[in-house]
Amino acid sequence: MKLVVGLGNPGRTYEHTRHNAGFEAMDAIASLTSASITQKKFKALVDKVQIGKESVLLMKPQTYMNNSGEAVRAAMDFYRLSPQDLLVIYDDLDLPVGKLRLRQKGSAGGHNGIKSIQAHIKSQEFDRIRIGIDKDARIPTVDWVLGKIRKEDAQAYQESIEQAAKAAVFALQHSFADAMNQFNKR
């Protein structure tokens, strides 16, 4: 069993904001796998699917970003998963819009959703797909991440969401190392 988590904030207020890149990637994964991430469980919306040989729980935590670890920990405890069974997809201010970065471990890099997950599972050793949202030094970080994608960035952003979904599915069918080799080139 694998757990794939897309980070974001629930509710209409946050739809299509930069901080919800993970939720948008989960919707793209759902389209690729005919999933419906609507079942309420573990303080999240989930669906269980088969991807290749893997049984996979797709998750969109409903705890708000800063408490994402609560939902992740609950699912990991229920299914007795280790950090190596976890893949998290989220936004990254330090990457330009349209850029993906796949990594197998690392620090939270200031991302509160990742900080929460690391605190709850007591590990940094999990796979992650970071989706670039860039930053604008003139705009406070909180306003930037909770803002909508600019029109001039919309196409690159949408392509990165779709690539993140493809990378996640590819990693589940092959290996995360193979996905890194394939998708980090872009």
Interatomic CA distance for residues 163 and 169, integer angstroms: 10
Q: Report how far residue 151's alpha carbon sits from residue 123's, in angstroms, rounded to the nearest whole number.
A: 37
Residue ranges of alpha helices (H) inside 80-185 are: 112-121, 141-145, 154-173, 176-183
Output the DSSP codes for 147-168.
Answer: SBPPGGGHHHHHHHHHHHHHHH
Tell whether 181 is in a known binding site.
Answer: no
| Location of structure tokens 């080139």 | 185
Q: Is 112 labelled a binding residue? A: yes
Annotated binding residue 14? yes
How far apart, in whole angstroms, are the C-alpha atoms of residue 8 and residue 116? Answer: 13
Of the residues 19, 111, 120, 174, only one is catalytic, namely 19
Tokens 């699917």 locate to 49
Buried b (16+ CB within 10 A) or exposed e, 148-170: ebeeebeebbeebbbbbbbbbbb
Q: Has 19 been annotated as catalytic?
A: yes
Find out whether 9 is annotated in a ligand binding site: no
Q: Which residues are annotated as a binding site for tRNA?
A: 14, 64, 66, 112
Q: Which residues are annotated as a binding site?
A: 14, 64, 66, 112
Active site members: 19
